[in-house]
Chain A
Amino acid sequence: MKPAVFSYHKSTSVEEAVEWLEQHPEGKILAGGQSLIPLMNFRLSRPEELLDITGIPQLDTVSQTDGRLVLGGLIRHQALAEHEQVRRAAPVLAEAASHVGHWAIRNRGTLGGSLVHADPAAELPAAMVALDATFELVSRAGVREVPARDFYLGFLTTDIMQTELLTRVSIPSADGTAFGFAEVARRPGDFALAGCFVEVGQDTSGAITWFGISGGPERREITWSSDAQERAEAILEQLDTVDILDEEAYRHHVAQVVAEEAYRKAVRGIA
């Protein structure tokens, strides 16, 4: 099928974009289009007015300020995966970005689009929850800063308002916490059946952030043990507090496996 009729507007600045959003309460933002256009092609989504934000300058940059890594909302997944500064400051994020879809999808899909679309099986929202990122949301009313840990409210639901644009994401520099990432997908590039990020503190403290197993990122704090048996029990205890969606027994098993794998990667320092 083909998309239904819409009117198209391309924005060249954040100010102009938020003004447009204010004046078009039914309007929809188009970024990389890698989630929105498939939905429009099948007419599962029929926005009447689209605002293309890909021409806004300065939103595809990476910088470091006040000990935080700052990422623009228009950075493409492939650029995130390959960026030197990101690979150094948050290797686990670069690694996760390289697992989003396929090369051709990553060349176009944007960070902001993935974070706002909030697919339950998406890597980047969960990465932001694990990394304790803060999202900068801009509307005509001003700037609102929302921690990623408060942003995800459930299946495809977030705290963003229709008039807001996600402009930037900032990530605190690691305080000695080691991160690990693992996922299982049926084929490379497919959405994960289950995946997770783990945090391993310098003591035994830490956390697991699962994705793909429920309505959104699920972060659970955990006390790590160096004993594999005790660790498996601790993982299970946390996993049992998550409401797993379909194929429950199988996903439950995969979720356990990825948690252990991500833990091992974190302690070996290989993201």
Chain B
Amino acid sequence: MKKLFLFLLLTTLTFSSDSIRVVSTSQFTTEMLLAIGAEDYLIGTSFLDDEILPELQQKYNKIPVLAAGAPTKELFYSLNPTFLTGWQSIATPKNLGTIEELKENGVEVFFTKSQKTSNIDDIYEDILYFGKRFNLEKNANQVVKNMKSDIEEVKSKNLGKKKIKIFAYDSQESAPFVIGGNGIGNTMMEIAGAENIFRKSSFSFGTGSWEKILDENPLAIIVIDYGDKSYESKIDFLKNRSPISELEAVKKDRFIRIPLSYLSSGIKVSKGIEKISEGLSEEQK
């Protein structure tokens, strides 16, 4: 009897906060929520850039995918959502409506601070906010702690080492689309022990120039992997048809493959930094 009572009490407690119905319209917020164990609140996701972090895949599979990009307003409201998070661009009249409109319809809106800054501390803050909001503070703290220690490890490894000149190639052939100085990607490169040759550009992602790359002669190249243009086809272009095919870094295959989702402001940032740093350390040999 006592056991049954306890069981009932526990289940009511667990499901009492079930009234929060979350839609997450970006991979990075989805991963943050899954990482802190908020999967039971998630009623839909969208905007998957590439593979979910392997250890979160099982949790992710149980959540309905609403659309590849922005879900329609109708579909969104048909799910009775009470909480929206994800890309900030989702709260526009063309997508799910303005923040005011969403609030009027009873939807709480939270956009991560870190998607607008290039600061890793903001990511921690966002994760901790989710932890607080969903009563999962302990988990959130643990996630942040792990990220911090991963990053510290990379930092201590690079202490006193010379920065290696690199750039990050996203796509495009006539002029390269690259990571600039204003975004998390640049911060990650710096922590990993590299110097982005486009760090002085004000964009986070933008069109750079082949000239600049030829002139700076980077030691390694990050190749961002996503979408339906394969990593191999990008390498093939850089090696055989690009204006930089004669650079040492290209000739000697000094490429570092980074999936796009590792460059968004989320829990994968620390793993992304590790990947870049590993790629660089191979160059240092």
Q: Do A and B bind each other?
A: no
